[in-house]
Structure 1
Amino acid sequence: MRIQRILAPTAALGCLLTLAACEGGGQASPPGTGASASPAAAEGPLAEAQRHMRQFTSCEDLSTKADDPRMPGGDFPRIGQWSVTEVGVCSDKPEKGDIVIAVPKDMKQFQEGYKRYVKDRIAGGDGAYGLDSRVLIGKGFVAFPTATKTAMKLVRSDLRVLACNPTARVPEGYKRDKPLVEHCSLSDFVEAEDGSGSPNFETPQDPSGDGSKLGQPKTGSLGLPRAGSIAELRKLVGNSLDCGKNFSTDPEAVAIESIDYQPVIKGNALEWGVTGRALCGQPAGERRAHDLSWLDTVGDMKKLQTKAKAAQQADLKDDGKLKATASLLLVGENIAVETNSPSSRFGLYQLQFLYLNCTPGFSAPSGYRLEKSQVEGCVLTNYEPDHPLG
């Protein structure tokens, strides 16, 4: 499902605090040199909130001083507002941002107050207010990070983004918790106007059917390889993978993986639509496992691509990047190969295998293949931005 919004050019970016750089990833103003925790912040709920957040991101120089230049200069949060009893601020220096912390006595009252505030801003003509919410609800406190990357780190914990703009949506693949007020959402989805937030896996990435997108063949597929058995697949990829002496179809051997070589398929291969599976490469023995790749015969290619898409999205979710040791899934008509070796993939592309890519916004330059996959939101391609074909 494509999520579409019509935003006024001058619409606010949903900044929750009127800080100078709330959506730009920067600080409102430089914190005082050598700032240290004020006595009021040295212990109590603010310090507890700081300790919790420091498991996931930096939160240094905690202060409750009203004249601290990092304190919010906007409408909220303020002591006495929406049951807030304490307000502090700390710095996430690696991300060049700050985190304002509010401690409400009544979390429902806080959420109701924020919801009313959003409705008032929308009624005042700021229809996009709150779409890029940076109100993160924790247990007993609320965090307001100014940097998108800080928010991305915090939602990996139990903090959740509170969004009360009625047009805000939580895309597929993200956690949804129940807020304390109706018509708002709590999720681990971080929206950002500049695209630096959480990836939206509901945005269709399949190329247009008319072939107008660069790299897309004008009529259908250029063809994919096939094989009738694991033995035929082994022979097909023999020049690209270490499948000569180091080859096994033994289930225990096939299940081997290492910190350096991680397959795409996890668990029962039958649940992925795979009918046969083999391991190429050297399992651990006298030396660490090396050159591991997996060969698959596929009975249900749509099921395989659906499961692989979910696994890829889970990997992309934290920072928008795949783990360096994760294998990529290259598919044919009824076969697939999992490998994290760029040189091996180069050879497989020559055999007309294509990589299942489910990265939001992906496109391929002219001259590369870009074809429709069997699942929405993914494409098949031989273009890897980090390893372009020479």
Structure 2
Amino acid sequence: MRIQRILATTAALSCLFTLAACKEGGQASPPGAGTPSSTAATAAAEGPLAEAQRHLRQFTSCEDLTAKADDPRMPGGDFPKVGQWSVTEVGVCSDKPEKGDIVIAVPKDMKAFQEGYKKYVLARMGAGEGAYGLFDQVLVGKGFVAFPTRTATSLKLVRSDLRVLVCNPGGRVPDGYKREKPLVEGCGLTDFVSTEDGSGSPNFETPQDPSGDGSKPGQPKNGSLGLPRAGSIAELRKLVGNSLDCQKNFSTDPEAVAIESIDYQPVIKGNALEWGVTGRALCGQPAGERRAHDLSWLDTVGDMKKLQTKAKAAQQADLKDDGKLKATASLLLVGENIAVETNSPSSRFGLYQLQFLYLNCTPGFSAPSGYRLEKSQVEGCVLTNYEPEHPLG
């Protein structure tokens, strides 16, 4: 028997329990039994529910808060009601940008709530649902528990101090995510949002096999077409001259190279030597009479594995927030002993023609036939000229 949630489409909803009464599309039917007290029906105006809403709004939308039992967003089924598991108030608000809702429960005793949830999970597992609780998004905060109906909402909230409560002994937290102790033994708190469909937090431990069948590094089938190289920054500048703004606007001055803007952010941060980079230059126009524009960075590389390892960690940190890279973040395109950092798709198109390849560390990434897909020097990444949002054509 598969786990049931409010949203059949997300496979990661956190209504928690027998949710046959939940509608599709993230909306829930009215509760099947019991009517909260009149106090609970008006609790959204002030008090713990309002405090919880203010906290949630720092990280996501939480509009139209109410504690009224007849609100159609209120879940039914076995959802913890007032009086259950020490819960004193239950409310619901809407995350309108994500087209979902957030149910909020306020326990008088958080330990009692966690103990109640743990017992419920174990009971469901004992009844034959061995995977129960692995994908429920039960987010514990200070004094309240949030149950988003959209995975995207949960991903925003775990960037705060809210943590996913996992009480299925089979729950596992991949490396790179927090592991914190809850108030009861046998459970865990984490910022890893687990989903069946892979829409939650990226698991960077997932093995990446760029070849598909293990016989070749990737496409092309006959092996690598090779990568470009240069003996110096001057040679690299000449090599990329038709792809980047490096002819008139070029500098190796450390202060100029350190320039970045809200629109142009390099991959390498801090001391370039710690990234395995031996020389660095800036192409483009720093801020002056007008805003900085067309910024890209050129690198000569002494330790390519170190560069790719550091770049992988930076890329994963960016992906961890919402599974997407920042639009203003540069991508790292590498050669044999050189690299270019740029957020310009048109510039990257030209660099791909020079046989540069992009270091992609997105879990599960693959490229269609006709694109290059080769092994990088770090596990979990590939080198490619395929960008899903900017395909060559």
Q: Would you say same fold, with TM above 0.5? A: yes
SS, match of residue 99 in structure 1: strand
> Is it true that 1:308 corresponds to 2:311 in the alignment?
yes
TM-aligned CA deviation for residue 221 of structure 1? 2.5
> Is it true that 1:377 corresponds to 2:387 in the alignment?
no
What letter matches 1:353 in structure 2? F
Instruction: State how 1:281-320 maps to structure 2 within 5 Å.
Output: 281-320=284-323
Query: Structure 1 residues 19, 50: closer, same or farther in 2, change over 3 A?
Result: farther
TM-aligned CA deviation for residue 23 of structure 1? 11
What letter matches 2:27 in structure 1? Q
CA distance in 1: counterparts of 2:249 and 2:181, whole angstroms? 52
> Is it true that 1:139 corresponds to 2:104 in the alignment?
no
Q: How much is the aligned-residue C-alpha RMSD, in angstroms?
A: 2.3
What letter matches 2:28 in structure 1? A
> Is it true that 1:113 corresponds to 2:116 in the alignment?
yes
Q: 2:189 aligns with which of 186, 191, 208?
A: 186
What letter matches 1:205 in structure 2? Q
Corresponding residue for 1:387? 390
Query: Structure 1 residues 251, 58: closer, same or farther in 2, change over 3 A?
Result: same
CA distance in 2: counterparts of 1:76 and 1:352, whole angstroms? 56
TM-aligned CA deviation for residue 226 of structure 1? 1.2
Query: Structure 1 residues 380, 51: closer, same or farther in 2, change over 3 A?
Result: same
TM-aligned CA deviation for residue 337 of structure 1? 0.4
TM-aligned CA deviation for residue 109 of structure 1? 1.8
Query: Structure 1 residues 197, 209: closer, same or farther in 2, change over 3 A?
Result: closer
Query: Mind listing any 5+ residue stretches in structure 1 that lack a counterpart?
Result: 1-7, 32-36
Q: Conserved in 2, the CA contact under 8 Å of 1:18 and 1:74?
A: yes
Corresponding residue for 2:342? 339
Q: Conserved in 2, the CA contact under 8 Å of 1:358 and 1:379?
A: yes
Query: Structure 1 residues 22, 327: closer, same or farther in 2, change over 3 A?
Result: farther
TM-aligned CA deviation for residue 51 of structure 1? 1.3
What letter matches 2:297 in structure 1? W
> Is it true that 1:77 corresponds to 2:80 in the alignment?
yes
CA distance in 2: counterparts of 1:95 and 1:29, whole angstroms? 19
Q: Conserved in 2, the CA contact under 8 Å of 1:206 and 1:373?
A: no
Q: Conserved in 2, the CA contact under 8 Å of 1:25 and 1:148?
A: no
TM-aligned CA deviation for residue 208 of structure 1? 3.3
Deviations 1:296-326 (A, max 9, x none): 1111111111111111112122222211111
State which drifts further: 112-121 or 69-78. 69-78
CA distance in 1: counterparts of 2:200 and 2:248, whole angstroms? 46
Corresponding residue for 2:99? 96
CA distance in 2: counterparts of 1:83 and 1:368, whole angstroms? 57
Corresponding residue for 1:28? 28
Corresponding residue for 1:223? 226
Corresponding residue for 1:3? none
TM-aligned CA deviation for residue 278 of structure 1? 0.7
What letter matches 1:235 in structure 2? K
TM-aligned CA deviation for residue 357 of structure 1? 0.6
State which drifts further: 89-98 or 306-315. 89-98
What letter matches 1:28 in structure 2? A
What letter matches 2:344 in structure 1? S
Query: Structure 1 residues 30, 265: closer, same or farther in 2, change over 3 A?
Result: farther
Corresponding residue for 2:65? 62
State which drifts further: 119-128 or 181-190. 181-190
Deviations 1:177-207 (A, max 9, x none): 2222223221112122222222222212231
TM-score (norm: length of structure 2): 0.89
TM-aligned CA deviation for residue 97 of structure 1? 2.0
TM-aligned CA deviation for residue 162 of structure 1? 0.6
CA distance in 1: counterparts of 2:23 and 2:134, whole angstroms? 12
Corresponding residue for 1:278? 281
What letter matches 2:142 in structure 1? K
Corresponding residue for 1:34? none
Query: Mind listing any 5+ residue stretches in structure 2 that lack a counterpart?
Result: 5-10, 32-39
Q: Conserved in 2, the CA contact under 8 Å of 1:214 and 1:364?
A: no
CA distance in 2: counterparts of 1:18 and 1:96, whole angstroms? 22
What letter matches 1:340 in structure 2? N
The percentage of aligned residue pairs carrying the same residue is 88
CA distance in 2: counterparts of 1:251 and 1:48, whole angstroms? 48
TM-aligned CA deviation for residue 250 of structure 1? 0.7
What letter matches 1:150 in structure 2? T
Q: Conserved in 2, the CA contact under 8 Å of 1:25 and 1:95?
A: no
What letter matches 1:177 in structure 2? E
Corresponding residue for 1:4? none
CA distance in 2: counterparts of 1:272 and 1:378, whole angstroms? 17
Aligned residues: 377
SS, match of residue 366 in structure 2: coil
What letter matches 2:164 in structure 1? V
